[in-house]
Each structure stands twice: as C-alpha cells, then as structure tokens.
Structure 1
C-alpha cells in the first residue's frame, strides 16, 4: 500500500476540518451557503438508471437492467444464475444496498447473489472502483445503491389514492408473463402508504439458433409495503420487502448436464429486507442528519427432487445501522458518521461424499467511522478527501472450523482533485483505498471449508484519471483506471485422504487495468451516445477465467450505443446496442476464444390519458444472435464442451398498464 496518498488524505481531512472552525471563530458568516455542486456529469462506469429507463426497457431481470451500461456485464443465461461483473470483477466485491439496507450475503457460487425486482425501482446508482468513505464497509470495487418508489412517486398531483395494474409478456420459447398490482395513497398530509405485489412466471427460453434451453424456467414473486412521511424538517421511509424465486435446475444452475450425472434439483431463494430511513434537515448549515436501520435475510435451498435430500442450504441475516450528518460552510461540505453491521450464518451442504458433509454456524460484525469532505478551495478546483476506519471480527460458533476466530482493522483513505480547466472541460484524478476484513464468505462453501483463524483482510487500491468535455448538448467523457485487490480470500481444496475438505486462505493479488470512453449529443428531443470499455483483469499475473468464481472473469472489449427519441410527452422510443469483441479464454491452453457477438434492442413506450395508460413494446436481441455472454461460464476443459447456457435469442416484449 502506498504511503504518500494516505498521508495526503489524512492531512487534507484534518486541514479541512480545521479551516471552517477557524473561520467561525473569526466571525465569518457561515450561515447562507449553498450546497457545493459539481458541474461535470457522472463519468463512464458510474451511472444512474432512473425509473423512466426501467420502464422503457420493460426490464424483467438484471441483464435487461444493466447490460447496456458502461463497465458492466451480466452473465448466466438463466435468471437464477445471472451474475453482475463491474470492470470484470464479480459483484461479490461490491457494496450493494437496497433502500439503504446492505446486501452482504453470497449464498451459492453457482447462482446470482444480487436479487432485485425491477418493477418499482426508482433508481440504480453505481460508483465503480474503490471510492468515497461514504460508500460503506467492504466496497472493494465500488458501491451500487438501489432505491424503490414510494406512494408520492406514484400519486398524480390531484390524487389522494390510486392503484396500478400492469401485465407484461415476453415471447420467446415457452414465454414469460408478469402481473403487477399496487395500491397507494395519502393517509394524511405528508404521510403516504404503498403496497405492491409482482408475480412473474417464466418458461424455458430459446437461444439464437432456435433451440430450447432447459432447465431455465422460474417463478418469481415480490411483495413490498412502504410507509413514507414528509413533515417539515423530518422525512422518513419504512419499507418491508419479500422476494421469492423458485425453479427446477441442475445442482449447478448455471451449467448444463455436461457430465451426464447431475441431478435435477428444486431451488428456492428468498430475501426479506426491512429498512427505516430518517432524515432531519432543519435548514441549518451545521445539521443535516440521515439515519438508516435495516434487517436483511437471504436464504437458499437446493434439494434433489429425485430423493428429497438437501444438496445445499443456507440462511444469512444482517442487522445494521448508518448514522451520518452533513455540515456545510462557504466552500466546504463535510459528511461524517458511523455504521455497524452484524451478520449471522447457518449453512449446510451434502454435495460431497458423506464423510465430508458438513454444516456451520457463524457470526461476524463490522463497525466503522468515516468522514468525507468536498472543498471548493478555488473557483476552478474541487478537492474531495475522506477517511474510513473499519474493524471486523468473525467467529465460527459450530460445525466446520468451530472455535476459529479472525479479526482485523484498517484505515481507508481517499483523495480526488477536479480542475475545471475551462467552462466546458474538466479534469479529474483520484486515489482511494478500501478494506474488507474477515467476514462471512459464501454460505455453501462455509459448510465445506474451515477457518483457521489466520486470515488477513482484503485491501483494494484504486487510481483513476478522467476528463469531461461538455458543450451545447455535446459530451465527451473518459476514464482510465488501475486497481489492485490484495490478500484475496479464497477456498483451498485438500480433499481425500485428508479428513479436511479444505480451508480458507489469503491466496494472492487481483488487479485490473482499463478504460472507459463515451461520446454523445443531446438535442431537444433526440439524444445518442456511443461508448467503449475494456478491462484487463489478472490474478497473480495470469488472466482471470470463468473458473475464478467469486472473483471475476475475462470480458472482451465492449462497445455500447444508445439512441433516444422523445417526440412528445406521450412517446419515448429507444435503441440499445452492444458489441463485445472476442477474447482469449485462458481457462486452459486448448480452450477456444470467447466469441464476439452483437445485441440490438428496439424499445418503445407511450403514456396516454394523462399517464393513466402505459403501453410498451420492444424486441430484445433483434438480430437473433446466438452467443454466450462473456460473463457466462463457457468452456470446460475436462469435457471439451461449453457448459454454460447461451443467451436468449430474439424476444418480443409487450406491456400494458393502467393507473386508477
């Protein structure tokens, strides 16, 4: 770890804290200052998907939501196994929150970790790369924040109560159908309540060659109740959400039966999230308090449907809080606070020979203190600097590795500087560190691999340089980055004749070098952009490959394009395009390259009768291209086969909704 950037960040943070105090002591007026605004738009790789984009794409899963964003790939084929890769690293490295509730659980390395239902998403915000101290604990490769809609987002200005009914369908293979019902209302002045329910039934899909891909069918259900209050200086949200996803797949749901011995299994995943967010903003420059308290429980069960025996199961729950305040001075914003999370795990696996069947109970906790300052020290300069301190501890209470304990602590500084060189051109440089101590690993592997009490926490370093040129609706933005993740924790296999199947160990350093570039133009009712991104990921000097589950994989240089046309307030038309260049597959010397592919989506959305009626149509993968997404497990050296599922072929989608 570099010493100089840490010293700079510590010194800068201390200086920023002293300056406003000394100004106040001198009697300088610090009561009429506005919030500092950064002129430049978000650089490529850092995006904010809003509700209009979700509605236009008629998103049914993570791939629909994220695949056309810079720096992101979504692989897996089937919905249950879709994994998100940011700059080539798997989402296990991200700090993911839903309405402020952290989602730390990784249940099973063969399936998705991030469970999100798109229908009532208000926004998805991604900050790629280790960054601000406010990103939360363990944000090695960045933070993704999901916010859901509330009653006031749904009500029209003249309404006190309303309802939404919506039906959608995707026509491909055995097709998929979704039904949505929501009721919402104003209980009193400033108090709103919304209840929603979503049911989606998806059949096996067809690939670009017209072949049926099975087993990929799923049954997805989601319910949420959200109470929102807006009262003068106080505002709050209380949300309770339940997701349930079931289906029949092979024991490894992202793989075909390539060995001829995999059994069909009944899979079930659930997530329950309760979060309370409160803000107190009395209009004072010194006080703007935000508090979040949350409970999150994720659970999976994989049961062989021929015998009824459990293959693997696990339940991970988390309870936590985040308390922060923002103080503002003439040219400075300072956010400071604390956060805490306690995780618990109860997991079982019976996938190995019976002698190695196991279970485990573990608990972990992380406590952090943080501060982040933005200082406009000159008209053309913005300095951002911050510092986190996190303390982690993990205890194995029973089962595999019982009695083991790990703990670690570390400071994580960050420093960035933005220079508004002209009215239209800005330059930015940033350095940041992030720390993820020893916490609960994947549930399935935790019942198989033992802790020995000798682990070091993982440490991420991120360096970025970027620019943004914006004038008269035209923009050209770019970022180059380099990141390392030291002391990566992975499972080490031992196996027979040892009585131990394996153990957790620090196994090496992962790194990525890459860039992102985007150019676009916005007119009154038409906008377009074209972007390209590439990440060169490696682990201890070798390229990442599909077998690096939980870490990342190799993804070819990716080009993205989008065109939006809004000729009126009623209509919105869009084109989304993605071209991924071929990439060498280093999983084995004989592995063929991951092939190039192109995906083109056509989208249209109409809002009629004062937004009461919504109609949407679209064609996904218009060219009916047969391909394997580079985020999908592809070639298996032992069998010489592509064992992941190919991507869906051409799909026609249609949606109709009515607001009462």
Structure 2
C-alpha cells in the first residue's frame, strides 16, 4: 500500500562515536566458479561534513550445479561503487547527495533469463546508475518538519553483437521528486502529507526494431498518511492519495504512430495493530491502490502490440495476522490475498489487454532465542492464478512467480570461549504442480539444501572476522522457487 524505500549506509554507520575516520574491507573466494570478491568502505566526518566511499569488484567463471554440470552464462564480472556526501547543521538540518553505479560486463546466454539455448551466447554490458539528493529538517517536534528528495535512476543493457549479427541497446530511466511535511501532533501521532512526481522512460534501439522505439509515463500524486496511537494498545495507520498519469505506448519507426492514454484514480489504506495482551497482538490491513499503466520489457518492443484493450490497473490487498512473544519464544503468522485488475498481458502474440492476477496464501514463523544463539523456522505458501485459472510463469512475468510452499530452518550459536559463531540453514520447497497441463510444462520437484558456516574473530586482531561456509552441502541440483520458468521442460528451454 505504498512504496519500498532503500537507504544506503552513511558515515555514521561506519564510524564509532568520537571517530573522524575509519573503514571496512572484505575479501572472499568461492570455489564453485572460482569467484573472487573484494570491497572497501571508507568514511570520514568533520565539522558537520561527512563523506563515504564504497567500491566492490567481483570476478569468476561459470559455476556448476549439483550434478557438476556447468551453468552457462553465470560467470561474475561486476564492479560497483557508492559515493555519499552530507552536511548536518547544529539544529539537525541535513542535506545528502548519494551516487551509485553498478556495472556487469560478461558473456551471457542469448536470453539470460532462459538458460542455455540453440541461439548460443552474446556479450551483455549492463550499467545501473542511481543519484539522490535529499534534504530533511531534523525537526522531530511541532507541525513543521519538511523534507525533499530528488532522484534519478538509469539502467542500460547493451548487446553489441549476437550469433545473428544483431545489436541491441536498451535504456530504462526514472526521474522522481517528493516534497512532504511531517505534522507531529504528539510524540506518537504523526501525519505525513505531500506531493510526488515520477517520470519513467523505457526504450530500445536495435537492428531488429528498425530504429528506436519505447514507452513513457508521467505521474503526479498527492498523499497523506496518518500514524496514530489512540490508546496504549491500539496503533492505526491510514492514508489516502490521488494520482494523475499520462502514458505513451511504443512508437514504431515503421508506422510513426503511438498509443497515448491518461488515467487517474484514488488509493486508500488502513491497518490496525491491537495488543490483546502483553504477549499477543492482532493485526489487519487493507488497501485499494491505483496502479496506472505499466511500461513493458524493452526486449519485447519488436512485437506488434495491440493497445485497444489496455486499461489502468488497480490492486486490492488484505492481510490478517497475529504475533505472540513470551520468554524466549516469538511466534507469528498471517493470511494474505492480493488481486490486481487489468494487468498488462505478455502473450506470445504480443497482445496487450486487461487481465486479472491473484496471489493468496499464508506466512508463519517461529523463533526460539537464548543468550548465545537462536533457532528460527519459517514457512511461506503462495498460490497464484491468472484470469481465474492456473498459469505458467510466462504469463506471470509482470506479476509474480508460482512459488508454492517454501520452508526454511536456521540455527546460530556463539561459542565465546573460542571466539566462534557457528550456524547453518536448511532451505526447502515442496513439490509444486500449478495445474497447467500444457505439454511443455512439468511438475516442479521439491528440494532441500543444507548450508553451514563458521565465523572466527581473533582476540588479538580487533575488528577482524574470518568466515568459512559450505553452501549446498549435499550437492543438490535445484532452482530456487523464485526463479522464473522452472516448470518448463528442458526441451522447451533448448528449442
């Protein structure tokens, strides 16, 4: 019922109180694929000014699956960097500039998300850039606590040549601006209100599209979100927003025409948490959200899309759960259901139309903790449907993945006398038949994977940690349930 916010570390996360300069470094090596990684973080501050720099390099060969078969196109060749500047005044006002870049340049399968195929391989040069400029007042009391965030992100994927002599360059850009104010009614009651703007562009320039084509959307919204505690046992979050969006579909160089559309709509959300006792709390939430028009995958712009049935999407989400904590035990569970109307369809004919997507299921978790460790169990069950029936993941690529039932068990134990931390985890999934009976689909087999690790911190070298781990101890051959397309047969992939 809102947005996902990612915040990278700053100098205060690296430096201890009173320190003006410091850093962290990390080196690692993985025997599967001979992958070596190294990273360095440095931070400094003085007189309200802060600076932080981070760099990472990863190189390696193709890794092997549990049967010892090389997974083509899986080699590592990644370079990443982060640079942040900040100034914080005596009254708490803070301005921060963040710059990120990630590059991945390697030979990949012709269709990287499809595995090996008869089409062979191609170089893929991928670059992601993110820039963010943020101001916040630092005033955590009263009715005036403004903040502003200006953001930009760019993802470029270049395939300069492939087995057929074609070349492809794609670009996906997002520009955003958010202006908001927090109205502090009291220490525990706040209303946040503001306006935001987002502009997205998605384009491809390739020999197989006869020129450059793409899509774009522009969206402006106003919003207000209240977070209140009417009583000591009740917490309430409620919000409203309204969006206006303009959308332009791809413009084929051949025809010179483009689809344009406008949509607007209201969104609302309400969630409650009630502490029934000191140990047991109940929670529930509901939202009805305007989705607008989604941009399509750049690599699909070669198809002759039919926009006649394209409509603005809308989602309805509901969740009901409970949490219990007493002594060393923490238990929790929830039921959830999401419906999205007018999902943009990805079909083999390239059509665009109104479709309905649904995901429903439950999550449960149990943790037992003690002074020097813990044990945790989780289970997630998710069933998805498309237009009221089961669907292969090809049709769900813009909406979700048929995950099914996934379980995990994790244990960690500190051994202070030996300066050791040891632990392990089991990641498992039950077999899954999503009901699709096409000849090129198959039942997803279950799997169970054991991972072990140990960390040693030498007392004579403060700040140093040595970690050794074994992933997939018993060499299981599997694909994580969140992997796209695992229900297809091998003949489908290699055709």
Indicate the residue corresponding to 1:532 in structure 2: 379
1:486 to 341, 352, 363: 341
1:542 to 372, 376, 389: 389
CA contact (8 A) 1:393 1:405 kept: yes
Alignment of 1:109-148 (within 5 A): 131=1, 135-136=2-3, 143=4, 145-148=5-8
Shift of residue 264, structure 1, vs aligned partner:
1.4
Per-residue CA distance 1:453-475 (angstroms, 9 max, x = gap): 76321111011110011112311
CA distance in 2, matches of 1:612, 1:585: 49
Structure-2 change in CA distance of 1:578 and 1:435 (3 Å): same
Per-residue CA distance 1:350-380 (angstroms, 9 max, x = gap): 45xxxx6553144321111111112222332
What SS does structure 2 have at the residue aligned with 1:314? strand
CA distance in 1, matches of 2:239, 2:316: 14
What SS does structure 2 have at the residue aligned with 1:153? helix
Per-residue CA distance 1:306-327 (angstroms, 9 max, x = gap): 46531x3211212111122222
Higher relative contact order (CA 8 A, sep 6+): 1
CA contact (8 A) 1:635 1:641 kept: no
Q: Are positions 1:564 and 2:419 aligned together?
A: no
Per-residue CA distance 1:52-99 (angstroms, 9 max, x = gap): xxxxxxxxxxxxxxxxxxxxxxxxxxxxxxxxxxxxxxxxxxxxxxxx
Q: Are positions 1:408 and 2:256 aligned together?
A: no
CA contact (8 A) 2:110 2:162 kept: no
Indicate the residue corresponding to 1:504 in structure 2: 352
CA distance in 2, matches of 1:555, 1:280: 43
If the length of structure 1 is used for normalisation, what is the TM-score? Answer: 0.69
Indicate the residue corresponding to 1:620 in structure 2: 471
CA distance in 2, matches of 1:380, 1:158: 39
Indicate the residue corresponding to 2:69 in structure 1: 211
CA contact (8 A) 1:358 1:447 kept: no
Indicate the residue corresponding to 2:154 in structure 1: 297
CA distance in 1, matches of 2:122, 2:344: 29
CA distance in 2, matches of 1:587, 1:426: 39
CA contact (8 A) 1:431 1:461 kept: yes
Shift of residue 556, structure 1, vs aligned partner:
2.7
Shift of residue 552, structure 1, vs aligned partner:
2.4
Indicate the residue corresponding to 1:327 in structure 2: 183
CA distance in 2, matches of 1:236, 1:161: 20
CA contact (8 A) 2:308 2:353 kept: no
Shift of residue 336, structure 1, vs aligned partner:
1.3
Per-residue CA distance 1:417-476 (angstroms, 9 max, x = gap): 222111111111211122221243222223534464763211110111100111123111
Structure-2 change in CA distance of 1:159 and 1:396 (3 Å): same
Q: Are positions 1:376 and 2:229 aligned together?
A: yes
CA distance in 2, matches of 1:274, 1:607: 36
CA distance in 1, matches of 2:462, 2:261: 55
Indicate the residue corresponding to 2:25 in structure 1: 165
2:105 to 246, 253, 261: 246
If the length of structure 2 is used for normalisation, what is the TM-score? Answer: 0.91
Indicate the residue corresponding to 1:434 in structure 2: 289
CA distance in 1, matches of 2:19, 2:114: 49
Shift of residue 409, structure 1, vs aligned partner:
0.7
CA contact (8 A) 1:449 1:491 kept: no
CA distance in 2, matches of 1:320, 1:199: 29
Per-residue CA distance 1:361-412 (angstroms, 9 max, x = gap): 4432111111111222233222221111111111258436733211111111
Indicate the residue corresponding to 1:592 in structure 2: 442
Shift of residue 159, structure 1, vs aligned partner:
3.1
Shift of residue 503, structure 1, vs aligned partner:
4.2
CA distance in 2, matches of 1:538, 1:246: 36
Per-residue CA distance 1:318-341 (angstroms, 9 max, x = gap): 211112222222452211111111
Shift of residue 148, structure 1, vs aligned partner:
1.6
Shift of residue 302, structure 1, vs aligned partner:
2.3
Shift of residue 568, structure 1, vs aligned partner:
4.3
CA distance in 1, matches of 2:438, 2:139: 64
What SS does structure 2 have at the residue aligned with 1:566? strand
What SS does structure 2 have at the residue aligned with 1:513? strand
Alignment of 1:603-618 (within 5 A): 603-608=453-458, 611-618=462-469
Indicate the residue corresponding to 2:204 in structure 1: 347
Work out the number of aligned pairs and report it: 486
CA distance in 2, matches of 1:503, 1:528: 49
Shift of residue 270, structure 1, vs aligned partner:
0.7
CA distance in 1, matches of 2:393, 2:305: 24
Per-residue CA distance 1:85-114 (angstroms, 9 max, x = gap): xxxxxxxxxxxxxxxxxxxxxxxxxxxxxx
Report runs of 4+ in structure 1 exceeding 6 Å deviation.
none
Q: Are positions 1:425 and 2:280 aligned together?
A: yes
Q: Are positions 1:192 and 2:50 aligned together?
A: yes
1:391 to 244, 248, 269: 244
Q: Are positions 1:601 and 2:451 aligned together?
A: yes
CA contact (8 A) 1:359 1:447 kept: no
Shift of residue 292, structure 1, vs aligned partner:
1.2
CA distance in 2, matches of 1:270, 1:587: 37
Indicate the residue corresponding to 1:106 in structure 2: none
CA distance in 2, matches of 1:179, 1:416: 43
CA distance in 2, matches of 1:207, 1:396: 41
CA distance in 2, matches of 1:545, 1:397: 26
Structure-2 change in CA distance of 1:377 and 1:627 (3 Å): same
CA contact (8 A) 1:360 1:396 kept: no
Shift of residue 276, structure 1, vs aligned partner:
1.4
CA distance in 2, matches of 1:475, 1:345: 45
Per-residue CA distance 1:465-523 (angstroms, 9 max, x = gap): 100111123111000011101000124554xxxxxxx44322x1111120001111122
